[in-house]
Amino acid sequence: MKTHPYSKRPDYALWRRAVADVAPGELDPVVEAPFRLGVREKVATAGSCFAQHIGRYLKSSGCNYLVTEPPHSFISPQAADTLSYGLYTARYGNIYTSRQLLQLFERAYGRFTPKENQWRERAGQVIDPFRPQIQPGGFNSDRELDCDRERHFEAVRKAFETLDVFVFTLGLTELWRSREDGAAFPLCPGVAGGDYSPSRHEFVNLGVDEIVADMTAFLRGLRAVNPAARVILTVSPVPLVATAEARHVVVSTMYSKSALRVACDVLSRSLNQVAYFPSYEIVAGGYAPTDYFAPDRRSVTQEGVAHVMRVFERHFIKRSVAGEALRGALRALGPVRSAPAEDPLAAAMRLMCDEEALSLEQIEASSRDEPPSDAEPAPQEESGEEFAAQEPLADKPEHEADPPDPVNERFVD
């Protein structure tokens, strides 16, 4: 019998054995993780709204989840949730793009100070352009924002310098940036604060090379302050809620996720101690026999999140008798909160997603209620540039129109 390179391939390399014949809920695209998380290792998270699921899992499973920006002691747990404490390691809100992450690092270490550093609203409140929805109603003054930002940057530096493992979920390639200095915003100015101006703001759609360059520069900076840091990259399966490109949102979504996935592959193959975790493939690949999207075709179901986290735990969490005992003790010593009024699984599915600010209802209300503007429409693409817009924006109405509800409008199912 003739032999060839495929004659003795392992089961994971063969579609029928690895996918078609696998029981529902058991698809596992991970072959071997390059490292595992020990019970004492400090794990930090950041990224798009789907990344919040990973943070919640790490906390609930008794892992050593790193939080460097806790709420003040006088703030109640409910108020802390409203103010976006605990969503991630620090209070940076959602970080959708590689450019946001790189600039967060540069800003925290004083290497970059954007010219457009605050947005003042008509009612007098001040919005942080780079965390536009972490403070419902905005800050009361420039001084209050400056003090909060100083504390925030201290927490960001502490996170990068003390973490053992950093889990980052990339969500978008589209973003809006300042024409003056390239500062990348998590939301288009005018959506949840600030005023959009085509003379001051531009839309860009990042290409693979730009994503790789951003992440390589970030990782170089991270290793400079924390040489032993390890990184797990993943891609959010959540589609774009809207696109600024002159094409169908499905096409923009496919481009965005494809570019991010290729960039992660380049990075994980070329850099030491950088791993890729296939959450996107599990949920959005279409290979699991169960549909993991809710009726809106964007929100990921509880079953989908559970599947992702089972695979993550199987490959990336180091298990031992002593470690499990310690994890149990950490869970028991965790903060006690009042019982939630809703089902715990439903509560766990709530996410703070900035991109939801670009809901159809919000867009229609803006076009119907706002007075005519002499502003030009947003540029779709500049010749010679491969830059883009950004990921999810949240379901809140604009700050200028009506202050958002402090809790409900910040979350999507």
Taking residues 368-395, report their average pLDDT: 42
Model confidence pLDDT, tens digit, residues 233-253 = 999 999 999 999 999 999 999
The partner residues of 184 in beta bridges, in order of sequence, read 177
Q: What are the φ/ψ torsions at residue 75 (nearest 5 degrees)?
A: -90, 130
| Token representation of residue 382 | 């500049």
* Calpha distance 174→391 (Å, rounded): 6
Instruction: Say yes or no to pLDDT of 404 above 70.
Output: no
Q: Other C-beta atoms within 10 Å of 122: how many?
A: 9
* Calpha distance 86→268 (Å, rounded): 28
Among 119, 115, 114, 150, smallest CA distance to 132 is for 119
Find where tokens 């420039």 sit: 142
* Calpha distance 235→170 (Å, rounded): 5
Contacts of 61 (CB under 8 A, 6+ apart): 313, 317, 327, 331
Q: Give the confidence band of 375 by pLDDT, cuts at 50, 70, 90.
A: very low
Q: How much is the pLDDT for 321?
A: 53
Q: How much is the pLDDT for 403?
A: 44
Output the average pLDDT for the chain. 84
Q: Give the confidence band of 2 by pLDDT, cuts at 50, 70, 90.
A: confident
% of the chain surpassing 90 pLDDT: 65
Please tell me which residue, 203 or 408, carries the higher pLDDT value: 203
Instruction: Say yes or no to pLDDT of 374 above 50.
Output: no
* Calpha distance 380→357 (Å, rounded): 20
How many residues are present in the chain? 413
Taking residues 171-194, report their average pLDDT: 96
Taking residues 81-100, report their average pLDDT: 94
Model confidence pLDDT, tens digit, residues 266-298 = 999 999 999 999 999 999 998 888 899 999 999
Model confidence pLDDT, tens digit, residues 327-359 = 455 455 554 443 344 444 344 444 556 666 665
Q: How much is the pLDDT for 383?
A: 36
CA–CA distances in Å: residue 125 to residues 74, 115, 410: 23, 19, 18
DSSP state string for 121-172:
-TTS-EE-TTSTTSSTT-BSSHHHHHHHHHHHHHHHHHHHHH-SEEEEEE--
Q: What is the DSSP pairing of strand 230-235 with strand 165-170?
A: parallel
Among 190, 47, 194, 172, smallest CA distance to 114 is for 194
Q: Give the confidence band of 50 by pLDDT, cuts at 50, 70, 90.
A: confident
Q: Give the confidence band of 59 by pLDDT, cuts at 50, 70, 90.
A: confident
Q: How much is the pLDDT for 290?
A: 85
Instruction: Say yes or no to pLDDT of 371 above 80.
Output: no
Model confidence pLDDT, tens digit, residues 297-318 = 999 999 999 999 999 999 999 8
Find where tokens 């531009």 sit: 202
Reading across the β-sheet that carries 274-276, which strands appear in turn? 43-47, 165-170, 230-235, 274-276
Instruction: Say yes or no to pLDDT of 379 above 70.
Output: no
Please report which helix (H) or strand (E) contains residue 329, including its range. helix 321-332
